[in-house]
Amino acid sequence: MIVDFVTMYAWIFWVGLLLLFVIVEVLTVDFTFLMLAGGCVGGLVADLLGAPFWAQILIAGILALLLLFVARPALKRTLGRTSDQTPTNVAALLGTGGMVTTPFVDGQGHVKLANGETWTARLSQATTDRPVDAGERIVVTAIEGATAIVVPAEGTAL
């Protein structure tokens, strides 16, 4: 009697387990439960083809293990490769050009960067001791707090 019940309603077990794994996968987004859900699909297909319940469990387990150890690493590697590598924040400012808005006095002044932001700036230690006047082009070499460290660009006059 129990064997008939399990045989008759095994598909409900597989669909329920499949839905549970998909819901957990949506919450975790680690692809582990997605691979287990793939194993459940194998068990469900085996049930629909008339396999005994022990064979369904065996097929589901083998398929889930194969997906976990073969498909999941390849999937994570592929999806990780496409992540955006565009620099942001301070890293995006390094190498940015700009123009001096107030002359540098004692190595400090103000610059307007190519992105439209105005920054307090300080000349880099590598810069020679020549005056840097308003209108000259600069390049950002570092950011220290709220101060841009700059060097005069080649062809300085605008």
Angle, helices 2-28 vs 53-66, to 10°: value is: 20
DSSP 8-state symbol, 105 = E
Interval 73-109: pLDDT, tens: 999 888 877 666 777 788 888 999 999 999 888 888 9
H/E element holding 120?
A: strand 118-123
Question: Residue 119: pLDDT above 80?
Answer: yes
Interval 29-74: pLDDT, tens: 899 999 999 999 999 999 999 999 999 999 999 999 999 999 999 9
Q: Domain 89-152 in CATH: superfamily? A: Nucleic acid-binding proteins (2.40.50.140)
pTM score: 0.53
Going by C-alpha positions, the residue among 46, 42, 53, 49 that lies closest to residue 18 is: 42
Domain extent listing, the chain:
2-81, 89-152
Distance between start and end Cα atoms, the chain: 92
Most confident of the ranges 5-9, 80-84, 116-120: 116-120
Contact in structure between 120 and 149 (CB atoms under 8 Å): no
Question: Residue 111: pLDDT above 90?
Answer: yes
Residue 138, pLDDT score? 93
